Structure 1
Amino acid sequence: MNLREKLKLYVITDGRLRDEIESVKLVLEGGAKAIQLRMKNSTTRQMVEKGIRIRKIVEDYGALLFVDDRVDVALAIEAHGVHLGPEDMPLKMARIIAPQLLIGATVHSVEEAIKAQEDGADYIGAGSVYPTRSKENAVVIGLENLRRIVESVRIPVVAIGGINIENVRNVLSTGVDGIAVISSILVAENPKEATRRMLREIEGR
């Protein structure tokens, strides 16, 4: 499996914007190959029930499914991976508990990126590149810091935060491997077409 290729467009769910299952179907039809199930204010049971359904859909498209924050849910639904933030389970511990999972780590600096790589992360989510309404109190790092992060590690870097069709080329100029999006696709009138358009931009077509 070519992880860098799969992470090229990484779509994160947000049930406040559009139902998770509907979102996943539409963006996979549009060509996305990486999905993150993010359900911040849901119960474990809700996450597991919805996650099992999404796992089956993702499998049909040959895409990857990551679960935000929750190693236990990722294991329960047989997701491909988990994405961990600074307040979540320590990466080293997650690697011991779930050696079969792909593990992503949120970072905001070169130092955090290097540590995540040393601790065994398979990829990094770096941002917020621009101000975003999708996450409260997001730390904005800007393009230059993103470029430094990319240059500091060997593992794939996915940029996140305020990225849309107008600024995605500027973000790609930093050398990132992938782009993570939420609202720029989920609130579109046609998320499937919005996914296709974003992929065309990413691939330089």
Structure 2
Amino acid sequence: MPLTIDFNLYLISDRRQAAGGDLIRAVHSALRGGVRAVQLREKDLTARELLPLARELRQLTREYGACLLINDRIDVALAVEADGVHLGGGSLPVAETRALLGPQRLIGVSTHHPAEIATAAESGADFVTFGPVYFTASKAAYGAPLGLAALRGACANAPLPVFALGGVTADRLPELLASGCRRAACIGAILAASSPETVARTFLKQLDIATTI
């Protein structure tokens, strides 16, 4: 049975987009704004380079009672006692990852089609990201944006939580919510802001209202 997902905003790291080039400072600000889940996703770093960054984020997220997930690197996740990992198309399968992590750590999976959501659920994932919904430079290599109709289809009767990803901004949340999505994942909209804290609060206000309706 999937673990409970008690957050509706998922912040994904990209140190190149962080305001002032300071990822730790930007994430800290976002945590002050209420973010409760952070994915460390710096795919160009080696495990040795990623480890100290993961340790810093582990300390920060613990201070705020937030989850930390590591993109792909199960070894780094275990080394820093992260709350889980996020898997992409080239990662280990969910079942093998679960065997390594155990039953109490989260596993997120990147998906781009409703069938992939079903497969992730059947394999034992706890949640998925779905996208890119809108065009975004960070996801341009994955093809054209999927759009709101695809998001609506992905969220309809989804067997596990779905986070809309790709070009997600606070201004676009109303139409995401209208598509039946109640969770959002983002990078630059928060990290690149002059005040990640303020933007995170704006996101969460809209998402929290939606979940109570």
Please report the TM-score for the alignment, with normalisation by the length of structure 1. 0.93
Matched, 1:116 2:117: no
Separation in structure 2 between the aligned mates of residue 114 and residue 45 of structure 1, nearest angstrom: 34
Task: Determine helix, strand or coil for the equivalent of 2:92.
Answer: coil
1:133 to 1:47, Cα distance in 2 relative to 1, 3 A: same
**What residue number does 1:162 align with?**
167
Match of 1:131 in 2: 135
Distance apart, 1:98 and its partner CA: 1.2
Alignment partner, residue 80 of structure 1: 83
Deviation of 1:43 after TM superposition, in Å, equals 1.7
Which structure has more RCO (C-alpha within 8 Å, separation ≥ 6)? 2
1:69 Cα deviation from its structure 2 partner: 1.5
Inter-partner Cα distance in structure 2 for 1:126 and 1:194? 21
RMSD: 1.6
1:176 maps to: 181
Conservation of the 8 A alpha-carbon contact between 1:30 and 1:196? yes
Aligned partner of 2:74 in structure 1 is: 71
- Identity within the alignment, %: 37
| Alignment partner of 1:103 out of 104, 107, 128 | 107
Structure 2 counterpart of 1:185, one-letter code: I
Stretches of structure 2 that go unaligned for 5 or more consecutive residues are none
* Corresponding residue of 1:32: 35
1:141-197 deviation line (CA, Å, top 9, x unaligned): 111111111124221111100011211111122222410011111111111111111
Q: Secondary structure at the match of 1:106?
A: strand
Q: Deviations over 1:25-62 (max 9, x none)?
A: 11000111110111111121121111111101101111
Q: Compute the displacement of 1:21 (Å).
A: 1.3
CA distance in 1, matches of 2:92, 2:73: 8
Q: Which sections of structure 1, spanning at least 5 residues, go unmatched?
A: none
Question: What is the aligned residue count?
Answer: 203
Aligned-pair CA distance for 1:4? 3.6
Higher deviation after alignment, 186-195 or 131-140: 131-140
Q: For residue 10 of structure 1, what is the aligned residue in structure 2? A: 10
Give 1 or 2: higher helix fraction: 2
With 143-152 and 48-57 compared, the bigger mean Cα shift is at: 143-152
Shift of 1:87: 1.1
